[in-house]
Amino acid sequence: MAEEIKAGCARPTGGPVGEPVQEKTENKENIIKEVSQMIKVGQKAPDFTAPAYFKGKFVNIKLSDYLGKWVVLCFYPGDFTFV
Amino acid sequence: MSIDSVFVHKMWNDHELSKMVKGGIPFPMLSDSGGKVGTVYGIYDENAGVETRGRFIIDPDGVVQGFEVLTPPVGRNVGETLRQIQAFQLVRNSKGAEATPSGWKPGKKTLKPGPDLVGNVWKEWKTDMAFD
């Protein structure tokens, strides 16, 4: 499911997939509208890919690969933090 | 998921977390350097450059059923997350015929929404059921 990635010198990164990335416009109102958009319950979780460390390997994870399963997605401030 | 690189994730898992959890972390530790995913999910703190404690429950259709966001100094209650997943699974399996009232946990009574229940919840559910 998850493709393994080679450990090189560059930091692997991921990002949102599927949804078109909105171009930043000159119009300030539009920008504020975009930023204030929050996830809503009952709506699709935005798909993304992200590099991960999983059972001794570096892999790429895509959220939509987990369709058919329950997923808990947890964010936290940083590794080696206390809480 | 945090803004740390996968290399830092490996070090944290191998040198600290594996001392708390036998065999190490059993799920993928995701890296979001730059906070791009965290921004889409509305939990990235641009001023601090870190992600806040956001937790999203996503069902098998990829739909967000619930989320919780805390500032960094307060940790989560994993038991409550598990309880919510169990409740969402029950509701899903019943195809909406059952609902879980406040304080529900596995083994406790569910409600069956419908015309007969309107005005009669007080017969089925008492306030002490909101608590453990």
Chain B residues close to A54, C-beta within 8 Å? 27-29
Nearest-angstrom CA–CA distance, B70 and B76: 8
Domain boundaries, chain A: 3-66
The two beta strands, A71-74 and A15-16, are: unpaired
Contact B58, A45 (CB under 8 A): yes
Look up residue B94 and give its two tokens: 């019943």
**Contact map slice: A 11-70 vs B, CB within 8 A:** 11-16, 37-48, 50-55, 58-59, 61, 63-64, 66-70
Look up residue B102 and give its two tokens: 């406040």
CB–CB contacts below 8 A, A to B: 163
What percent of chain A has pLDDT above 70? 73
Question: In chain A, what's the furthest Cα-to-Cα distance?
Answer: 47
| DSSP state letters, B44-105 | EETTTTEE-EEEEEE-TTSBEEEEEEE-TTS---HHHHHHHHHHHHHHHHTTTS-B--TT--
Q: Which residue of A has its CA nearest to B48?
A: A77
Chain B residues close to A63, C-beta within 8 Å? 58, 62
Residue A61: left if φ>0, alpha if ψ -120 to 50, beta else—which one? beta
Q: Do B6 and A81 touch (CB under 8 A)?
A: no
pLDDT digit string (tens) for chain B, length 132 residues:
999 999 999 999 999 999 999 999 999 999 999 999 999 999 999 999 999 999 999 999 999 999 999 999 999 999 999 999 999 999 999 998 999 999 999 999 999 999 999 999 999 999 999 987
Contact A25, A54 (CB under 8 A): no
Report H helices in A1-83.
Answer: 28-35
Distances (CA, A) of B89 to A24, A69, B106, B113: 39, 11, 11, 17
> Which residues are registered as beta bridge partners of B111?
B99
